[in-house]
Amino acid sequence: MKKNNFLGSLMAAVAAAVAVAVFVLGPLPMSGQPAPAKGGKAAPAPGPVPRTKDGKPDMSGFWGGVQPSGVTSIEPVQAKGKAGAAKGKNLIISPEDGRVPYTAAARAKSDDIIAKRMFLEPELHCFMSGAPHNMWVQFNYQTIQTKDYLVFMWEFMHSRRIIPLDGRPHVFPASVRQFQGESSGKWMGDTLIVTTKNQTDHTWFDTSGHYAPKDIEVEERFTMINANQIDYEATITSATEFTEPMKLKGVISRVETNNPTYEQMEFACIEGNEDLKHYTTDAGGKAKSVGARTK
C-alpha cells in the first residue's frame, strides 16, 4: 500500500532539502461541517447528539484528528526569516503566546532536539504517539463505546487506547510506564473527562521536536456538539519541566458523514525501517549533508 511507504519516501525527500528533518503532513479531514452537494445545495445540518441506551453521548464511529491540527507543530508556525510572524491557528490556547510552557532548561533541550537530534522523532521509530498527541496524528481513527469502555483504534501505527469509564483510580506505580499511559474516564453530565498518567519519556507533542516531559499528567474533555462534532480540550501539567499548565482546544469531526462507503485502512510501521539512514549527518543521521554533496 502507498501509505506503508509514506515514512521512508517522505523523509528521503526532506533530507535532501533541509538539515533539520520535520514530518510534513497535510490537514486532516473536517467532514463534520455541512458540505455543498451537487447542484450547489448544502448538505443537511448535523443532527442532534446520538445517545447510548443509558443516555450518554455516543461517540462511536470514525473521526478525524483534532483541528486546528498540531501534527507538524503544536506551536505557531513561524514565517521563514521572521521570528515573530505566526501563521495560522494553533491548538495551544494557554499560555497566550501559544508556546509550550517549558522551563528554561526544558526549552534548551527542545531547541537542541530541533537543531541536532530530529532523528529521535518517536514516530520514525514506530513508537505510538501517546496522549494527547494521538488525538491529532495523521489519518483517522475509529471509536467503539460501551457502557464500561471507550476504545480508540487509530489507522496510524495501529495504535489502540482503551479507557475505562467508571472513574477508577490510577494504580500503576511510577516504575510502570506505557506509551499510552494509564487512563481513567468518567462522565460529568454530557462531558467525558479522561485523566492519563504514567506515560513513557519517548513521546512528543508533535513531529517538530517539542517533546513531552516524562511526568506529564493529561486531563482531556470530550463534549459532543452535535451528531458530527466533538469539542475537545486537554490540560497538560508537568511538575518538573513546565512553568504552568498548558491548555489545548479544538474540534473533532466525523469522517464518514458524506461517504457511507468509508472504511479505515491499514497503516503498518514495520520494525527495522530504515528512515534514520536518510537523515543528514548534521541532523544526526548517516546521509551526507546538502553542502557536502555539492563539494
Given a cut of 50, whether residue 191 has pLDDT beyond it is: yes
What rounded mean pLDDT belongs to the chain? 81
- Cell, residue 274: 530504515
pLDDT at 164: 97
More confident residue, 276 or 251: 251
- Cell, residue 95: 499560555
Using DSSP, state whether 216 is helix, strand or coil.
Answer: coil
Establish if 85 belongs to a structural domain. Answer: no
- Count of structural domains, the chain: 1
Please give the average per-residue pLDDT across 37-57, as a whole number: 78
More confident residue, 269 or 181: 181
User: In three state form, how does the secondary structure of 59-127 look?
Assistant: CCEEECCCECCCCCCCCCEECCCCCCCEECCCCEEECCCCCCCECHHHHHHHHHHHHHCHHHCHHHHCC
C-alpha 167/C-alpha 186 separation (Å) is 5
Per residue in 199-235, pLDDT (tens digit) is 998 999 999 999 999 999 999 999 999 999 999 999 9
Residue 40 burial (CB < 10 Å; 0-12/13-18/19+)?
A: exposed
Q: Where are the alpha helices (DSSP H) in the chain?
A: 6-15, 104-116, 290-293
Establish if 39 belongs to a structural domain. Answer: no
* CA 76 and chain centroid, separation: 15
126 beta partners: none
pLDDT at 88: 55
Q: What is the pTM of this model?
A: 0.76
Establish if 43 belongs to a structural domain. Answer: no
The domain of 181 spans 3-34+48-80+90-293
Given a cut of 60, whether residue 36 has pLDDT beyond it is: no
Given a cut of 70, whether residue 3 has pLDDT beyond it is: no
Percent of the chain at pLDDT above 70? 76
Look up residue 280 and give its DSSP letter: B
Look up residue 265 and give its DSSP letter: -
Establish if 28 belongs to a structural domain. Answer: yes
C-alpha 265/C-alpha 153 separation (Å) is 11
C-alpha 35/C-alpha 30 separation (Å) is 10
Per residue in 248-274, pLDDT (tens digit) is 999 999 998 777 788 888 887 776 656
Establish if 145 belongs to a structural domain. Answer: yes
Establish if 65 belongs to a structural domain. Answer: yes
Establish if 41 belongs to a structural domain. Answer: no
145 beta partners: 150
Question: E strands, 174-283, where?
Answer: 182-188, 191-197, 217-226, 229-237, 246-253
C-alpha 202/C-alpha 181 separation (Å) is 11
